[in-house]
Amino acid sequence: MPFVRVSMIEGKNKDYKGKVAETIYRSLRETFDVPERDKFIVIHEHSKDNFIYDENYLGLKKTDDLIIIQIFANNTRTMEQKQSLFLSITENLYQEVGIGKENLLIGIVGVGKENWSFGNGMAQYV
């Protein structure tokens, strides 16, 4: 059950944000064995003053089109699955949305299964 937070500078239209979310979800399904309907994505928009980044970190040119993606997921995925996910999200967002490959920062936070509740105060994965 991944939970995804997407942060970007405000001003993108609804279609753009929807396409970003759907593209990330498809990549999760293809590389992380995420079941159908397991989609929880929140998009955060920030003013330019509140979205601070280094424009040339690690020699990768960043612009105001930068998107920061945090993925909270069960800590059961292999290194290969994680690398595959990074590549899938990057390639798909580049091809389908036009986001430059250098304008993506993606982080995965591994979560123990006992740390999820999907409602009713229950830890459904325990």
Q: Report the percent of the chain where pLDDT is more than 70.
A: 100
Number of other residues whose CB lies within 10 A of the CB of residue 85: 23
pLDDT at 1: 76
Lowest mean pLDDT among 14-23, 87-96, 107-116: 107-116
Q: Mean per-residue pLDDT for 61-81?
A: 96
Q: Percent of the chain scored above 90 by pLDDT?
A: 84
The span from the CA of 29 to the CA of 2, in Å, is 10
- Chain centroid to CA 109: 11
Q: Which residues are catalytic?
A: 2
All structural domains of the chain, each given as residue ranges with its CATH number in brackets, are 3-115 (3.30.429.10)
Q: What is the tens place of the pLDDT at every residue in 13-50? A: 999 999 999 999 999 999 998 999 999 999 999 999 99
Distance CA 45, CA 21 (A): 13
For the chain, give the longest Cα–Cα distance: 47
Q: Which residue has the tokens 């997921």?
A: 73
